């Protein structure tokens, strides 16, 4: 799904999320573990405000484990609990309810002290398109999707999905926009497949990806494309991969679009192994 984010859409998305946040106890902010900063909404802190939150580093199965651990520490240092998960297979999901209970203990203890009947923790999943929100909701809900119906006093009808007995989720996630005005963010989103290739130039995306791999995962590049050594120039790297894989045009020229498609397809299919495209150290100076 490609959403065109215009100012009107962004304002509407924000309004909808703000309304939903009023109904819940805790926000699950879903990001892509390979690009946790670039796959966030730029106004997320302001939108979530003081509501408790857990950052869920999804698609951790595709990310570099070592870097994911660094990201978990990075968020922890900012007092934001973070968990690495894989919504597709369910890895890490058990921790979500357990951690939510810890974070909300005080609130629920206070409610109990006031004589309020115990109830399930209410949560909302928020994230930019394609981070895995629907996959996560379906996975958490398992087969026993139970719609508990509308809540009185709520203007827009919201459906709740039970996750075990202790947690319930709003069945539609909060969808927010990425920081797309930043070119680098765009390239990272495109490389990981979060945005359609047509939005950015295919060869530019591949230049970004190759440059990143050359700097951070040179051995993986060499191994995958059987390269004795990595050429200095990115164009030469393109040429070598194109030649090795037979991405040629008439006259013996390299077909750069075909080469780009091949490289990006292989990165997204984890053919170069598990990769992370940003590290906390790249963001330290911004804090």
Which residues in 156-215 contact ligand G4P (CB under 6 A)?
193
Q: Does 55 show up as a binding residue in the annotation? A: no
Q: How far is the CB of 47 from ligand G4P (least distance, A)?
A: 17
> Which residue's CB atom is positioned nearest to ligand G4P?
132
Q: Does 20 show up as a binding residue in the annotation? A: no
Q: Which is nearer to ligand G4P, 167 or 195 (CB)?
A: 195
Stretch of 15-23, 73-81, 125-133, 231-239 contacting ligand G4P, by CB under 6 A: 125-133
The site for ligand G4P, by CB under 6 A, has a size of 16
Cα distance from N-terminal residue to C-terminal residue, the chain: 33
Please state, in angstroms and rounded to a whole number, the distance separating the CA atoms of residues 201 and 28: 33
Exactly one of 132, 174, 178, 186 binds ligand G4P (CB under 6 A); that residue is 132
The site map against ligand G4P for 32-71 (x = CB under 6 A) is: --------------------------xx-xx---------
Q: Does 235 show up as a binding residue in the annotation? A: no
Please state, in angstroms and rounded to a whole number, the distance separating the CA atoms of residues 30 and 58: 7
Site for ligand G4P contains 88 (CB under 6 A): yes
Q: Does 174 show up as a binding residue in the annotation? A: yes
Which residues in 67-86 contact ligand G4P (CB under 6 A)?
86
Binding residues: 58-61, 130-135, 174
Q: Which residues bind ligand G4P (CB under 6 A)?
A: 58-59, 61-62, 86-88, 127, 129-135, 193
């Amino acid at each position: 799904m490609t959403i065109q984010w215009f100012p009107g859409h962004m304002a509407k998305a924000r309004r909808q999320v703000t309304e939903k946040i009023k109904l819940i106890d805790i926000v699950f902010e879903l990001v892509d573990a390979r690009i946790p900063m670039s796959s966030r909404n730029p106004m997320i802190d302001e939108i979530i405000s003081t509501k408790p939150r857990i950052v869920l580093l999804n698609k951790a199965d595709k990310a570099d484990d070592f870097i994911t651990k660094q990201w978990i520490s990075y968020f922890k240092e900012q007092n934001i609990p973070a968990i690495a998960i894989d919504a597709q297979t369910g890895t890490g999901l058990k921790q979500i309810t357990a951690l939510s209970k810890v974070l909300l203990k005080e609130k629920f203890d206070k409610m109990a002290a006031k004589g309020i009947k115990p109830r399930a923790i209410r949560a909302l999943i928020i994230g930019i398109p394609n981070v895995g929100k629907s996959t996560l909701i379906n996975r958490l809900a398992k087969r026993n999707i139970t719609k508990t119906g509308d809540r009185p006093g709520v203007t827009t009808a919201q459906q709740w999905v039970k996750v075990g007995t202790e947690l319930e989720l709003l069945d539609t996630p909060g969808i927010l926009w990425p920081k797309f005005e930043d070119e680098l963010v765009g390239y990272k989103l495109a490389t990981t497949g979060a945005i359609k290739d047509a939005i950015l130039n295919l060869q530019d995306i591949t230049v970004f990806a190759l440059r990143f791999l050359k700097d951070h995962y040179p051995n993986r590049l060499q191994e995958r494309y059987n390269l004795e050594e990595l050429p200095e120039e990115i164009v030469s790297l393109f040429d070598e991969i194109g030649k090795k894989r037979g991405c040629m045009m008439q006259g013996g020229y390299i077909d750069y679009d075909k080469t780009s498609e091949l490289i990006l397809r292989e990165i997204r299919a984890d053919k170069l192994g598990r990769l992370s495209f940003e590290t906390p150290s790249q963001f330290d100076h911004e804090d």
